[in-house]
Structure 1
Amino acid sequence: MNIWQILLDQPILNALIVLYKILFSNLGLAIIALTSLVRLALIPLTSPQLKSAQVMQELAPELEKLKKKYKDDKQKLTQAQMELYKKHGVNPAAGCLPQILQFIILISLYRTFSQVIRSDGASVIENINKSLYSFVKLPLGTHLDLTFLYLDLSKPDLIHIPGFFALPGVFVIMSTVFQFLSSKLMMPGVRLGEKEVQTTEKKSDDMAVAMQKQMLYLFPAMTLIFGYTMPSGVILYWFVFSLFSYIQQLAIVKTKKGV
């Protein structure tokens, strides 16, 4: 067992099985509960990220002044922007870390589900028990129910139309939508309802905004693509995670507005 499995895969699998036992042997509910716990555990990372995004939004007018002042000197503009960020304790790239961490956890969940579903019958429990702590092990002969609502959690969430290619299922689509909305809320100067992202006249003049604009479409696109191949159990996790993120970010934006 490598360090990745010891630090991530094994704890996640054990937590999932414990929740499965508590929540009436419902794996879907266990995934939702595990997602909520992971989301709470990431608050120390996401809170500074959200606060940084708010400050970036407040600095938008000052950034515009700098762009006009140094419109012919890109190097001085970049230096002035960095000094402004430093003065207000802002890291323009801070929003990347929680996103990257989410995908690391997503990969670990994918590995965990692969371990759970790659065998059939009684061998499933034997396979799972190899990675479970002694006090968590499942009795041999336990039937692990992989159904939740219309989903088979071991298979991708796809809608198969006869004579046509498979379409993404409900949870894949909703995961993509909430991932997009969450990414949009984290971009400086952007609010729900705006028709387009605010940028400078020359996009290359503001590297931070350009990078975040790419992230606006990159992560939702990856969610949609992965949805075609990943088990729907992983997509269920990602849907709940994205929904939680969106609600938290929207609440902070509304609080800032005094709504």
Structure 2
Amino acid sequence: MTAPERPAIRLNAYVLAGDPAWIEASIGSYAALVDRIVVSYDRSHRSWSGHPLSVDESLRRIAAAAPEGTVELLPGDHVAGERSLMATETAQRQAALDAASRGADWVLQLDTDEVLPAPEAFLEQLTIADADGADAVAFPLRNLYAMTGDGRFLEQCGRFWTTQAAYPGPIAVRAGTTLTVARQARGVPHRRVDVAPRNTDPAHPRDTTVDAVVPTEQAVLHLSWVRTEDQMREKRDVSGYAANRDWDRDLARWRWRARHPWLTAAGAPVSRKWWDRYRPVRVPRLEGAQP
């Protein structure tokens, strides 16, 4: 595949270091587009909740994946203490965004377990957003839950196995943007892209405006739970929101579903929880990739 041309728009990125599982695939998918990658991490190598993180490994892998001279390290104090976990996450992201805004028109904000499979499609939407005066680009994201034994992935889907986009926050924001919660920038004009003419994200109202449509295969790939057993155990221990779920139960379900993808998919029409429906899919962009 031909590498996309570097955009006329000055684009930087930021990432949070501590989750090394998919760093190469993530940074490799957009490194050619950006001038700088600001790497934010807690100087004590701990998570928001105070657990040890794999920061050293993450930094090594980021340095190996990014073009020489593009990485800017930004250590800080990012353990929650008296603050809430969400406030701590938002503050860390804001500090990283502020640093990445220097010398940029826009800032890309992808986590290290998110892959941009079609950078040219993203650039097209960013260019239109910039010309139209928008301050954020909301791009669809596909949640991949587990890898099955035959190389497929279990993807979060709609009740009858339809594609379901997600939007944890805009993929890019104009330099100098103020974040409100995590990556979100509420109250600023967005250009919203989906995989269908009507909103497919069940977390948003059905009549949410869709400004443009891209094919499903161009949506961002989120690999949060696509990991080895050891990586999942680490995720259980260090997740900033570990206290909000029963990890022993969730890990048992994750193992079973990875072994029984078709039985898992058969349950989608009867599941009452929209976030708990899955379908087996092939993802050519990730064929042969391993966490």
Under TM normalisation by the shorter chain, which class is it? under 0.3
User: Rg: which structure is higher?
Assistant: 1
The structure with higher relative contact order (CA 8 Å, sep 6+) is 1
Q: Which has the higher helix share?
A: 1
TM-score by length of 2: 0.24
Report the structure, 1 or 2, having the larger strand content: 2
With the length of structure 1 as denominator, give the TM-score of the two structures.
0.27
